Amino acid sequence: MSAAANGWETVIGLEIHAQLATHSKIFSASATAYGAPPNAQASLVDLGYPGTLPVLNREAVRMAVKFGLAIGASVAPRSVFARKNYFYPDLPKGYQISQYELPVVARGEVGILLEDGTRKTVGVTRAHLEEDAGKSLHEGLGRMSGIDLNRAGTPLLEIVSEPDLRSAREAVAYMKKIHTLVRYLEICDGNMQEGSFRCDANVSVRRAGVTKLGTRCEIKNLNSFRFVERAINHEVQRQVDLIEGGGKVVQETRLYDPDRDETRPMRSKEEANDYRYFPDPDLLPLEIDADFVADVRAGLPELPDAKATRFAREHGLSDYDAGVLTASRELAAYYEAVAAGAGEPKLAANWVMGELSGFLNRDVLEIGASPVGAAALAGMLKRIVDGTISGKLAKDVFEAMWSEGKDADAVIAERGLRQITDTGAIETAIRDVMAANPGHLADYRAGKDKLFGFFVGQVMKATAGKANPAQVNELLRKLLAGP
Amino acid sequence: MNLHRETAAEIGRGLAARRYSSVEVTRHFLARIERANPALNAFVTVTAERALADAKRADARLARGEGGPLTGVPVAHKDIFCTTGILTSCGSRMLANFVAPYDATVVERLDAAGMVLLGKTNMDEFAMGSSNETSFYGPVKNPWDTACVPGGSSGGSAAAVASRIAPVATGTDTGGSIRQPGALTGLTGFKPTYGRVSRYGMIAFASSLDQAGVLAQSAEDAALVLGAMAGHDARDSTSVAAPVPDYAAGLGKPVKGLKIGIIREFFGAGLEAETGAAVRAAIEAFRGEGATVEELSLPNLPLSVPTYYVVAPAECSSNLSRFDGVRFGHRCKDPRDLLDLYRRSRGEGFGAEVKRRIMTGTYVLSAGYYDAYYLKAQKVRSLINDDFRRAFAKVDVLMGPTAPTPAFAIGAKTDDPILMYLNDIYTIGANLAGLPAVSVPCGLAGGLPVGLQVIGPHFAEERLLAVAHAWQRATDWHRRMPEGYA
Amino acid sequence: MTLTRRDVENIAHLARLEITEAELPVYVGSLSAILAFVEQLSAAPTADVVPMAHPLEGQNQPLRDDCVTESDRHEAYQANAPAVEAALYLVPKVIE
């Protein structure tokens, strides 16, 4: 990172808004399902009709508490909803019901694992409940915008990190960790395309060694991991260039434009907003007692960190591999089933992280939609373990299983892919190759050891790849050595 | 026919005994409204067709023997309560085109009790006022003297019941808006404990202060209507789950041995002489009936009005932000851009007093001022609440004047907002503490009604109604009617 | 507390209220008077006092079951709307 190279330090804090996966909205009984026709899911309460009042959804509270427990945070026994006042067409009441001084979840932390193996603990300052705003549509309405309030009132959990992140990479790792966590907890579907998981980044720079924080800018509209990384890198460079050029960073809100790969100031946020927060008089203080918390705690699943630690310990996987395999509950469950079924965790890990992930990415599928189920993959791995097929041929078998939906044994039988382990047959193949390549044989015996690979290749070709490689090696060495 | 000389309870009994039908009763009141409303301007909307339909339904229920004490009895609703399919203006140009798509809980419940909807009554705009002079629909006149105000903000409801063009009406009380007009028009104005009645469907002014209540001819009428309105509503998070007692059954409780506290701070300067005398005489009469009277000091009470004029504007500045010309209500013509849409729709839709309070509220919540104003006011509110709590440890009820003067002339105080605000000097404290309170007629000053205010601890509605009822058994101030309306 | 014209213009902007040139001095006067009136509060002894946000102590927020009970009523609700097209509420365009 050029900034760091020039003696600059980057300071990043992320604000993540996770849409909670409740059936109904946080303060009204409207549906939260994505994709409904405009304003079909906007009740009188959601529309801010005069005389309407908010009533709090218990499940939203449970989900917030789940998150708090998962990050080791204390859950506030008493928290308060506050009104954040500002005017915008997608905000029907002219205020957003949020939490200000007393959020439901207080300080916690999250561990992240970077690609180079470094571990870091990132502080989470707080997490609070609030309602989402509606959406504006700008196409096809002339000089007007159209407001759809279906999304208005959907519960959000706003998760605020401490400014502990020091690079775009760290920020992405943290964002991914939170993404994994909320899906593990089943409190958010993490669908960034649909806007269920949104991230704003607060970015500032300072000279290395300086403790005072630089002026920060907030970057909004970051709805993919890639955009977060690019946007932060761009913004850091922009700020460094600005300061090095004699200028000053102005505190402002900026929008990331993925098409141009740049950030630019947001027009509607040009003026600093005075939100005039005050406790919402229509809602009473939210009191959460020990029983409520205990009940939520009892329903927590095994969390990703614990699961990864267990995989590393019980299956002998590296921390990194364990981290990759626990990125989602579904993937972890798949992997465990394959490992158990095949009896070979490391082999299972390689295949799940390698071939399987490759095919899932190629076909843009989630693990749940994999045409090769865990049992089927385990079955195939067993055939590698028992020597029926070689590891190399297994890739062809897997491809056939993926595209034809058959199990391993069926593919092996149909295509006659059983490994050749009969010593006699291998010897015959070797002698045939030796006879067909007298020149190379002579050169090898004269000392050209590198030709060994040539002979291996020829034997594999002659046996259509089915000869057991270990046996080929052993027998070839014996036979090439001389009569 | 002199049905208008009967109280709502009496009409209910008459209907049950089939002395007359609800349709007859309703026609009687509709005719009175038609004659009197042009001069009083008490009603914004008269719902004649709906009223007759309600009355027919009520008669059918009564014929089947399925009626209750309020079945077939007409009622008028303050135009702050949403009524489906009917204009709900809140006294404002902002909602002059607003046909509500739903019923307020209060409306639903009185409907379920079989009451007949006569119409929607005029009020100070968005409930902000003490004289009903800020309404978009023009001022309401006091039937006792049409050159005078009826009080506010529930002025239309008060004028309607005082002139007996409706037997009973609903109101709302945020700083005295039921009790003060009740006092100025000779009615029993009852504000229950905060949370006793659902605020769902009641257009919000100041959410932590607003409460629905009744403008009635008597404690008995108030008891019946309150009993039908009150109770928990899951749609209002601030509504209380406590069960609703049978208020009517509790009316006869004796008041012997009642411990009355009079608030020293309420009898200082500012209290008009004849008003003060009538109130003192009433309190003395209670002593004569065996009550004990003790003077108490509630030293923070004089700060009620400034406290209120920080808290209420703060809350209303936020509550009224939803009026932006986008989804309902007034929208300016040809908005140039979004900012223009907001500024002009709101600038045109709201009157001066509403704008004043929105701006006051915006200021006291703004950065740098929140602690000094809003937070400070909420702390003083605690002090006032504590004063009341200490008082109720010693006495059963507190008594004093409801308003500092009888009804004043229309236009007399409109140039000076603070002068107008001081009309609520005795009533605001109960709103800040969420306490139930009632104003009952106790005399005349210069020929105009004077109200005695009785304040009780939280959920002491039964006690207050019993005290009011006892007073009304011994006196007949509540039966007096303004000239020309009897 | 005397407010300036600028103060009132700022407040009016925050509250999205159009105040005409003629009205401005009137509001400066009345708002200043109101603020001067509430100034009395500053003398009250509130050192350790907890602010009272709700009149009823000891009450806490009730929780609602996570059930969908609302249905599509947009036609009825939009009958009141000043400007609607294709079921969307129309406002002058805001370009981001």
Chain A residues in contact with C54 (beta carbon < 8 A): 281, 284-285
Instruction: Please judge whether A87 and B324 are an interchain contact, meaning their C-beta atoms are less than 8 angstroms apart.
Output: yes
pLDDT exceeds cutoff 80 at B318: yes
Task: Collect all residues with Cβ–Cβ distance below 8 Å to C6 and sequence separation of at least 6.
Answer: none
Computed on alpha carbons and rounded to an integer, the radius of gyration of chain C in Å comes to 23
Choose, from B21, B130, B131, B153, the residue flagged as catalytic: B153
Does any CB of chain B come closer than 8 Å to the CB of residue C64?
yes
Chain C residues in contact with B381 (beta carbon < 8 A): 51-52
Q: Tell me what percent of the residues of chain B surpass a pLDDT of 90.
A: 94
Calculate the alpha carbon distances from A159 to A34, A112, A361, B275, C35 in Å: 22, 16, 29, 60, 38
Give dist(CA C21, CA C33) in Å, integer. 19
Higher pLDDT, B59 or A208: B59
Does any CB of chain B come closer than 8 Å to the CB of residue C42?
yes
Task: Collect all residues with Cβ–Cβ distance below 8 Å to B37 and sequence separation of at least 6.
Answer: B43, B46, B165
Instruction: Please judge whether B355 and C19 are an interchain contact, meaning their C-beta atoms are less than 8 angstroms apart.
Output: yes
Instruction: Please judge whether B376 and C44 are an interchain contact, meaning their C-beta atoms are less than 8 angstroms apart.
Output: yes
Nearest CA in chain C to A40: C72
Give dist(CA A160, CA A91) in Å, integer. 22
Of A53, A92, A276, Cβ closest to residue B236: A53
Could you give the 3-state DSSP secondary structure of residue B470? Answer: helix
In a domain, B341, yes or no: no
The interaxial angle of helices B8-16 and B22-40, nearest 10 deg, is: 160
Smallest CA-to-CA distance from B461 within B436, B434, B430 is with: B436
User: What is the per-residue pLDDT for B423?
Assistant: 87
pLDDT digits (tens, 9 = 90+) for A81-130: 999 999 999 999 999 999 999 999 999 999 998 888 899 999 999 999 99
pLDDT digits (tens, 9 = 90+) for A380-412: 999 999 888 888 889 989 999 999 988 899 998
Calculate the alpha carbon distances from C93 to A85, A250, B93, C18 in Å: 21, 27, 26, 20
pLDDT digits (tens, 9 = 90+) for A165-187: 999 999 999 999 999 999 999 99
Give dist(CA B231, CA B71) in Å, integer. 19
Does any CB of chain C come closer than 8 Å to the CB of residue A87?
yes
pLDDT digits (tens, 9 = 90+) for B146-197: 999 999 999 999 999 999 999 999 999 999 999 999 999 999 999 999 999 9
- DSSP lists the bridge partners of residue A257 as A262
Nearest CA in chain C to B306: C38
ipTM attached to this prediction: 0.96
- Of A152-161, A179-188, A244-253, the poorest mean pLDDT is in A244-253
User: What is the per-residue pLDDT for A267?
Assistant: 65
Give dist(CA B377, CA B304) in Å, integer. 9
Intra-chain end-to-end CA distance of chain B, in Å: 11
- DSSP lists the bridge partners of residue A262 as A257
In a domain, B282, yes or no: no
pLDDT digits (tens, 9 = 90+) for B76-111: 999 999 999 999 999 999 999 999 999 999 999 999
Instruction: Please judge whether C18 and B363 are an interchain contact, meaning their C-beta atoms are less than 8 angstroms apart.
Output: no
Q: Are A466 and A417 in contact (CB under 8 A)?
A: yes
Give dist(CA B466, CA B245) in Å, integer. 13
Element containing residue B120 per DSSP (H, E): strand B116-121
Confirm whether B191 is a catalytic residue.
no
Instruction: Please judge whether C67 and A24 are an interchain contact, meaning their C-beta atoms are less than 8 angstroms apart.
Output: yes
Instruction: Please judge whether A148 and C59 are an interchain contact, meaning their C-beta atoms are less than 8 angstroms apart.
Output: no
Distance from CA of B367 to the nearest CA of A (A): 6
Query: Which H, E and C letters describe chain A, residue by residue?
Result: CHHHHCCEEEEEEEEEEEECCCCECCCCCCECCCCCCCCCCCCCCCCCCCCCCCCEEHHHHHHHHHHHHHCCCCECCEECEEEEECCCCCCCCCEEEEECCCCCECCEEEEEECCCCCEEEEEEEEEEEEECCCEEECCCCCCEEEEECCCCCCEEEEEEECCCECCHHHHHHHHHHHHHHHHHCCCCCCCCCCCCEEEEEEEEEEECCCCCCCCCEEEEEECCHHHHHHHHHHHHHHHHHHHHCCCCCCCCEEEEECCCCEEEECHHHCCCCCCCCEECCCCCCEECCHHHHHHHHHCCCCCHHHHHHHHHHHHCCCHHHHHHHCCCHHHHHHHHHHHHHHCCHHHHHHHHHHHHHHHHHHCCCCHHHCCCCHHHHHHHHHHHHCCCCCHHHHHHHHHHHHHHCCCHHHHHHHHCCCCECCHHHHHHHHHHHHHHCHHHHHHHHHCCCCHHHHHHHHHHHHCCCCECHHHHHHHHHHHHHCC
- DSSP lists the bridge partners of residue B246 as none
Give dist(CA A300, CA B85) in Å, integer. 49
Calculate the alpha carbon distances from B208 to B250, B267, B307, B313, B378 in Å: 28, 27, 13, 12, 11
Which backbone phi and psi does A332 adopt, to 5 degrees?
A: -60, -40
In this prediction the pTM is: 0.92
Hey, what are B41's tokens? Answer: 């301007």
Instruction: Please judge whether A94 and B203 are an interchain contact, meaning their C-beta atoms are less than 8 angstroms apart.
Output: no
pLDDT digits (tens, 9 = 90+) for B139-158: 999 999 999 999 999 999 99
Give dist(CA A374, CA C78) in Å, integer. 51
User: What is the per-residue pLDDT for B417?
Assistant: 86
Confirm whether B177 is a catalytic residue.
yes
pLDDT digits (tens, 9 = 90+) for B375-408: 999 999 999 999 999 999 999 999 999 999 999 9
Domain A423-480 has CATH 3.30.390.30: no
Count of CB atoms situated within 10 Å of the CB of C31: 23
Task: Collect all residues with Cβ–Cβ distance below 8 Å to A168 and sequence separation of at least 6.
Answer: A1, A10, A12, A228, A229, A230, A232, A233, A236
Give dist(CA B140, CA B148) in Å, integer. 9
**Domain count along chain B:** 1
Mean pLDDT confidence for A131-136? 97
Element containing residue B439 per DSSP (H, E): strand B437-445
Smallest CA-to-CA distance from A29 within A46, A49, A14 is with: A46
Which one of B298, B362, B458 makes the best mutation probe of the C interface by having the most chain C beta carbons within 10 Å?
A: B362
What confidence tier does A4 reach under pLDDT thresholds 50, 70, 90?
A: low
Chain A residues in contact with B82 (beta carbon < 8 A): 50-51
Strands A8-19 and A56-57: unpaired
Distance from CA of B92 to the nearest CA of A (A): 13
Distance from CA of B6 to the nearest CA of A (A): 33
User: What is the per-residue pLDDT for A261?
Assistant: 85
Give dist(CA A202, CA A204) in Å, integer. 7
In a domain, B323, yes or no: no
Chains that touch C (3 or more CB pairs under 8 A): A, B
- DSSP lists the bridge partners of residue A83 as A97, A278
- Of A263-272, B423-432, B455-464, the poorest mean pLDDT is in A263-272
CA dihedral A427, A433, A438, A440 (to 10 degrees): -110
**Which of A418-427, A433-442, B18-27 is the most confident on average?**
B18-27
The owner of tokens 């229309």 is B410
Calculate the alpha carbon distances from B183 to B124, B126, B158, B408 in Å: 17, 21, 9, 12
pLDDT exceeds cutoff 70 at A1: no
In a domain, B297, yes or no: no
Higher pLDDT, B57 or B486: B57
Confirm whether B379 is a catalytic residue.
no
Q: Are B370 and B377 in contact (CB under 8 A)?
A: no
Q: Are A150 and A39 in contact (CB under 8 A)?
A: yes
Mean pLDDT confidence for B330-357? 97
Chain A residues in contact with B236 (beta carbon < 8 A): 53
Give dist(CA B164, CA B27) in Å, integer. 14
pLDDT digits (tens, 9 = 90+) for A304-326: 999 999 999 999 999 889 988 99
In a domain, B28, yes or no: yes
> Residue B147 belongs to what domain range?
3-254+457-479
Widest CA span in chain A: 101
Give dist(CA A142, CA B190) in Å, integer. 53
Q: What are the sequence ranges of the domains in chain A?
A: 2-270, 302-415, 423-480
Smallest CA-to-CA distance from A57 within A33, A27, A31, A78 is with: A27
Chain A (142-171) residues lying within 8 Å, Cβ to Cβ, of chain C: 143-149
Calculate the alpha carbon distances from B255 to A133, B216, B227, B455 in Å: 55, 21, 21, 15
What single letter denotes the amino acid at residue A415?
R
pLDDT digits (tens, 9 = 90+) for B19-60: 999 999 999 999 999 999 999 999 999 999 999 999 999 999
Query: Which H, E and C letters describe B28-70, residue by residue?
Result: HHHHHHHHHHHHHCCEEEECHHHHHHHHHHHHHHHHCCCCCCC
Of B101, B237, B323, Cβ closest to residue A53: B237
Q: What is the CATH number of the domain that holds B36?
A: 3.90.1300.10
